[in-house]
Each structure stands twice: as structure tokens, then as C-alpha cells.
Amino acid sequence: MNPEKKYLINVVLVRSLYERNIGAASRAMANMGAHRLILVNPQCEITYEAQLAAATGQEALQNRKVYASMQEFLSQEADGLKIAFTARDGRGRATRDFQESLRWMQENSPYFSEEEYLTLPVYLIFGAEDAGLSADEIQDANYCCCIPTYGDNSSLNLSQAVLLGLFILRQVIGGERTKLDGGQLKRDSEQLPMNFNPD
């Protein structure tokens, strides 16, 4: 992918039930360089608990945009690539793994290959904790994707799904990685050699 390309990354949480998940999603956005947090018809108040969960990732939470309905969201945010996430297959939900879908988009979608799309936003859309996105909420998305799991439980915590979705997106589209300030490095005497063998 062209390293010059820049994408405006939005996280959209639809009918979220728990403010701690909204706060933790804001922290994940700060980790992964996402730009805007959009709440659609949230089912909870945003109080100090959300701020605690956001920890050092307060910016998206503090600058969140709230829409009363999916219709309002779609009318106000008409342009851009909309990717809905679901853990369920079924009629009208032909889902593919997110990374696989992104690779396909790279090769086939004008969004990733033509210069005029460089400043359009990407929306990652996640449903409520209890039931996910409805068929009506998915129907206007460009793609319907899932985050692969490897255990018996395919249902992810909302904020963890946001973090994984953003990580997978960054693995494909790239971006400038965070540079550590050295504060987490061990002193020279404590560092282990690269070929360290505890046996």
C-alpha cells in the first residue's frame, strides 16, 4: 500500500450499554492512532467510570460525537468506507475475516487504490454488548467483517473488539509506530542478551 496514504479512522459504537467499554475503546483508539469516537444511540451515561477506563486515552472520549440514531449518523457521515463487525453468520451476513477483507480491498476497491479517496474516512462500526448489530444496522455498511477467534467463545468484549479491529487495520494500512521514550527499558546490567537461554 502507498505509504503516503492517510486515513481518517473513526470508531462507531452503536447502542453501547456500558460506559466502561466506551472509555476503554477511547484508550484503544489512543493506542492505535484512531481519530474520532462516534456514539450512536448510547444506552448509558458517560460519567467518571468511563474516564477511569479511558485512563491515558481521554481525547476521543472527551471529543466524542453522539448521534440519536443510525439514520442520523448515516445522513451526517455519508462519505467514507463503512465496515460493520459481527460475530454471527446467517442470511444477509456473509462475513469474512477482517484482515482477509482488507487485503481484498487493497487489490479491488478504489477506496484503497485511487488518489481521490485518500482523505475520506474509514468507519469501524460495532454493535451493543448484548446483541451486536442488527440486520438493519448492517445493511448500509460497505463490508461486513468478523474478528477471528480460536477458542470456543467467539464473542469478544466490545472494547477488546475495538482494539483488535484497530490493530488489524493498522497491520494492513500501516502508519507511524509509537516510539518508546526509553523509560520502559531495563538498565544495561539488567538487559538479557538476545541469545539468552534460561537452561
pLDDT band at 2 (very low <50, low <70, confident <90, very high): very low
At residue 44, the pLDDT reads: 97
Contacts of 40 (CB under 8 A, 6+ apart): 12, 13, 14, 15, 66, 67, 68, 69, 70, 72, 73
Confidence check: pLDDT of 190 > 60: no
Tell me which of 61 and 2 has the higher pLDDT.
61
Contacts of 194 (CB under 8 A, 6+ apart): none
At residue 173, the pLDDT reads: 84
Q: What is the pLDDT of residues 24-79, one digit of tens each?
A: 999 999 999 999 999 999 999 999 999 999 999 999 999 999 999 999 999 999 98
Coil, strand or helix at 156: coil
Calpha distance 54→109 (Å, rounded):
34
Coil, strand or helix at 150: coil
DSSP code of residue 143: E
Q: What is the pLDDT of residues 134-189, one digit of tens each?
A: 999 999 999 999 998 899 888 899 999 999 999 999 998 888 788 876 655 555 55
pLDDT band at 195 (very low <50, low <70, confident <90, very high): low
Which of 20-24, 80-84, 148-152 shows the highest mean pLDDT?
20-24
At residue 164, the pLDDT reads: 97
Q: What is the pLDDT of residues 84-132, one digit of tens each?
A: 998 765 445 567 899 998 888 888 877 766 554 456 799 999 999 998 9
At residue 1, the pLDDT reads: 41
